[in-house]
Structure 1
Amino acid sequence: MYLPDLKSSAKEPNKMIDTVKGADCVPFAVQLKALLEQECRYQPKLCGLRILESAHENGLRMTAKLRDIEVKDLLSLTRFFGFSAETFSLTVNLLDRFLAVMKIQPKHLSCVGLCCFYIAVKSAEEEKSVPLASDLIRISQNRFTVSDMMRMEKIILEKLYWKVKAPTALHFLRLYYSYIRELLAAEGKHVPNVERLEAQLKACHCSFGFSKVKASLLALAILALEMHEQHLHEMTEPLQSLQQHSNVKDGDLFCVRELVAKCLTEYSSTKCSKPSSQKLRWIISGRTARQLKRSYYKIDHLPTIPEATS
C-alpha cells in the first residue's frame, strides 16, 4: 500500500495544472482554488457530528445509524425519480450540515430528510422536473402534511443561513477526474470509468463516517483507491499534483483511502444490498406515474457499483 512522496513528483503535472481547462473553459487551477476556498464554509460542524456519533439508540435521540438509513432511502428516492448524482450529493450535504447544528428527534428525521432532498432538487434539477411536495410525501409514504414540510424547509434554510449551493465531494471528484482524463487521454493511456467513481462516492455518502471528511479529501481518496486497486500507475503523477494543490497530507489520504475501501466492501456485501425494513414503498397517483421513468417504478435494493473496465 504505497503512497508516493510528493517531493519526488515530477514538475510537468504541476505546470499543467495551471493550463488545463475545465468544462466551462475556466483554467483548472482557478476552479480548484474557488472550490477549496468555499469548502470549509460548507463542511458540517465537527462538534455537532461528534455529538450525533456518540448518541445511543433509545428512540429519543438521533444517531449515526438512523442518519445512514435515511440517506439510503434518499438515494432510492433519487433513483426513483432519475435525478442526478449532484442532487443526491447536495441532499447529503444539506442533511449533514443541519444535523450538525440542530438536535432533532428521530420522528422528525423523515421530514428533515425529504425537505433537504426537495431543496436539492429545486437547486440542481430543471424546473420542469421538480415534483410537487404532495407527490413527494405520497411517494415516500410519510404522514406529515405539505404545510409541515414547508415549515421544516424554512427552518433548514434559516439554520444553514440560506447557503444551499455547496461545493460537494462530487464537484471535487468531477474536477479532479477532468484533469486526470485530459492528461491521460492526451498520452493515449487508460482513463478510469467516471460512472464507477461516482457510484463509489454515493456508497460513501451512505456511511456517516465520511460526513467528517473534507469533500476534497474524500474525492482524492476515491481516486487513489481506484489507482491502487486497478494498478493504474499512469495516474500516479497527476494524483500527486492534485494532492499537492489540494493541501492533502499523505497520511490523511492513506487513512481515508482505507476507510473508503472498507466502506465499499461493506456496501457490496449481501447484508447491505438486501432491502431493509426501511425500504421505501411507492404509492403514486396516475398523474405522477406518467411523469416517472418506467425503470424507476420499483427500487428494491441499493444500486451496484460498476465493474472496472480495462
Structure 2
Amino acid sequence: MKFTQPWGRQRLSFLLEKAASREAKMWKVYVPKKPSSQDTDISPAQRDEAVRWLTELHSRLQLYPETLVLAVSILDRFLAPIKARPKYLRCIAIACFFLAAKTCEEDECVPSLRELAASSSCGCSPSEILRMERIILDKLNWDLHTATALDFLHIFHAMVLSCRSGFLDSMLGLNRSQHLALLTQRLYHCLADHTLIQLRGSMLALALITLELETCCPDWLALTIDLLKRAQINSSELIRSRELVARRLSTLRASLPPNTVYIYQPLQSQTALRHPGPSPPPPSLRGTTPSSTPLLPSYRHLLEGRRGVEEMEVDDFFDGIKRLNTCSVLLSRQEGSSSPCPPLQPVSAS
C-alpha cells in the first residue's frame, strides 16, 4: 500500500477519526489514589513493576506489540475503579495478558494457559487465572476493544511518511518497519510509568512521534501542526505531554559500543551568514536527547507562515518549545552529565 496516493491519505484520516471516536468513549481521566499505610491497595510503583514484568514476558514469548499494549490498557482500566491487594497483582496482570493475547494473536500463537502460568512464574494456577479473567471481563462489561497508544502511533507514523516518504532513508538510514520498531520500544518504556497514565493514547503517541521528528526532520514543526489539526488536539496539551514524555525518555539510555565516534556540526544561523564574525557560534551535538538540538530560530518562521491557517497562538507554542528545551538541559545536568559522550582515551602508539 502506498500512502502517498490520495485514497491512502483519506483512509488514514478515516482510521484516525474512528480511533479518536473510540478513545473518547472509553477514556476516563486518571485520578491518583491516595497513599495508604495498609496493604489494601496496589501502589503506582507496584503497577509499574507489573508492567515491566509483562514486558519481559512479552519479549520472551515474541508476541505482537499490540498484545502487550492492549494488556497494559486492560490492566489500567481494571485497576482504576477498584481496590485490589498487591498479592493479587501478578494474577491480575497475567489474566490481562492472556485476554490480550487471545484478542490480538493468531489462534496457533496463543500460549496455553498452563504454559503461560509456568513460563511467567506468576505464582498462581491456571484455574485461578481463569477466575480472575472472568472478574476482569465482568468489570469491563466484556468490552476489550479500545484504541491504544500503539494504534495512534501507527496512524501518525503513516501520515508522516505519506508527506515525507524519503526522510527516513536520508536522515536515519532506516526503513519504515525499523523506525516504527524503534518508536514502539520507546512506547514500552513510557507505559511502565504511572505518571503518563494521565495522557490519552493519542496524546502519548503524538508526543513520541513529534519528539522523534524534531531530531531528524528539518520541517518537523510544520508536520506537527498538521498532525495537531487532523487529530484536533490543543497545542498547549501537546507541549505539556512532550515535557512529560521527554522526561521519561531521558531515563532511557541506549547502549553505545566502545570507541563511539561523535560528529559535531556548528550552527549556521542566518545572522551568522550575513554578518560573519571572528568567533563562530557554539557547536551542537546531534542526536543526544529528543530536544537537545537548538533549532529555535526556525520555529517562529515556520509558525508565522501558517498563522492564519492553523489559528493557534504562535507565541505560546514557541515559548512552550523553548521551555521544553530548557527542561531537557536541566535534566541532563541533574543527572550529573551534560553529554552522553564517553571520555576520550589517549591513543597508544604500538
| Amino acid aligned to 1:21 | G
Tell whether 2:95 aligns with 1:112.
no
Cα distance, 1:27–1:91 mapped onto 2, change above 3 Å: same
For 1:294, the equivalent position in structure 2 comes to none
Tell me, what secondary structure is at the counterpart of 2:39?
Answer: coil
Distance 2:191 2:123 in 1: 26
Distance 1:266 1:243 in 2: 27
Tell whether 2:227 aligns with 1:245.
no
Cα distance, 1:29–1:17 mapped onto 2, change above 3 Å: farther
Cα distance, 1:157–1:18 mapped onto 2, change above 3 Å: farther
Tell whether 2:51 aligns with 1:46.
no
Cα distance, 1:86–1:159 mapped onto 2, change above 3 Å: same
Q: Which runs of 5+ in 2 are unaligned?
A: 256-288, 291-350
1:269 Cα deviation from its structure 2 partner: 8.6
Per-residue CA deviations over 1:177-200 (Å, capped at 9, x if unaligned) read 001112101688647722211111
Alignment of 1:209-228 (within 5 A): 209-228=195-214
TM-score by length of 2: 0.66
Distance 1:185 1:18 in 2: 11
The one of the two structures with greater contact order (alpha-carbon pairs below 8 A, sep at least 6) is 1
RMSD: 2.6
Tell whether 2:271 aligns with 1:256.
no
Distance 1:91 1:165 in 2: 11
Tell whether 2:177 aligns with 1:175.
no
Tell me, what secondary structure is at the counterpart of 2:147?
Answer: coil
For 2:347, the equivalent position in structure 1 comes to none
TM-score by length of 1: 0.74
Residue 60 of structure 1 contacts residue 105 of structure 1 at CA under 8 Å; is this kept in 2? yes
Residue 101 of structure 1 contacts residue 159 of structure 1 at CA under 8 Å; is this kept in 2? no
1:146 Cα deviation from its structure 2 partner: 1.3
Q: Which runs of 5+ in 1 are unaligned?
A: 1-15, 271-306
Residue 157 of structure 1 contacts residue 163 of structure 1 at CA under 8 Å; is this kept in 2? yes
Distance 1:190 1:21 in 2: 24
Larger Rg: 2
Per-residue CA deviations over 1:15-34 (Å, capped at 9, x if unaligned) read x9994516xxx622111110
For 2:192, the equivalent position in structure 1 comes to 206
Cα distance, 1:17–1:176 mapped onto 2, change above 3 Å: farther
Number of aligned residues: 249
Residue 197 of structure 1 contacts residue 223 of structure 1 at CA under 8 Å; is this kept in 2? yes
- Give aligned-pair identity as a percent: 27
Cα distance, 1:41–1:130 mapped onto 2, change above 3 Å: same
